[in-house]
Amino acid sequence: MLPAYSTLATAVADSVLTVTLNRPEARNALNTQMGRDLGDLWTRLIADAGEIRVVVLTGAGSAFCAGGDLKERDGMTDLDWQRQHEIFERAFWSEMECPIPIIAAVNGHAFGGGLEFVLAADFAYGARGAKFALTEVSLGIMPGGGGTQNLPRAVGERRAKELILSAKPFTAEEAAAWGVLNRVCEGGELMKEAMETARAIATNAPLSVRQAKRSIHYGLQSDIATGLRFEIEAYNRLVPTEDRREGVRAFNEKRKPVYRGR
């Protein structure tokens, strides 16, 4: 059971956890408490996801996330800024380490840290009309939530340099063409389409989904030979599971499998 968070709204249905960034009055800007809440949420899912098999991350109101809350940061000392940013770093890193799939459903603008949340997810759908940007260099800082690492991996080095160094916003259609988004949806269809994909993932064997995610994530950080060996290690861990036996039985009995994550 997840606790009640002051900056997040959570709901579970059909083994899918919907997480809504819930500061609409501030365009869901990332403040210290949201950083703490997200870090706690992802850490709990890493430790024990229970029946949760997929996460859909979205925003309340018209924006997904406007980035760091600069009103809260106004007047911070250098040390206070760095201490706060460490809270944010842990939130981003634990999102990327979460073993279950995370789908970002980008309902509106995602700037700065908001875009970094999208990039830290496994993949993303976005509403038509949403805009994206890493604006940090226009504010005297730089992306510090994985943006300089995750954006090049999504769009390529040269495109990432253009976007980060210019701080220029780009459209949902451009985000899809360049690899930030998997799909552009009409606004009213965004959550429906994201949830359809989430439920499709949730019906598959959860241990298989996690091992496949892990193999992709870590394999891409190594050479192909090491990646192939990692893949087989991940594969072999599934052979003795109850779910593997259930999947084969269900196929031969021509019925829908019932996976229990064991």
Residues with a catalytic annotation lie at: 116, 136
* Strand 8-13 to 16-21 pairing: antiparallel
- How many helices and strands, by DSSP H and E, does the chain display? 11, 9
Per DSSP, the three-state class of 257 is coil
- End-to-end C-alpha distance for the chain, whole angstroms: 20
Q: State both tokens at 19.
A: 């997480």
Map tokens 């980008």 to a residue.
106
Q: How long is the chain?
A: 262
Strand partners, 171: 131
* Strand 102-106 to 54-59 pairing: parallel
Rounded Cα distance between 45 and 120, Å, is 15
Phi, psi of 102 (to 5 degrees): -120, 120
Rounded Cα distance between 77 and 83, Å, is 10
Q: State both tokens at 83.
A: 């201490």
Rounded Cα distance between 102 and 96, Å, is 9
Rounded Cα distance between 167 and 254, Å, is 54
Q: State both tokens at 111.
A: 């700037």
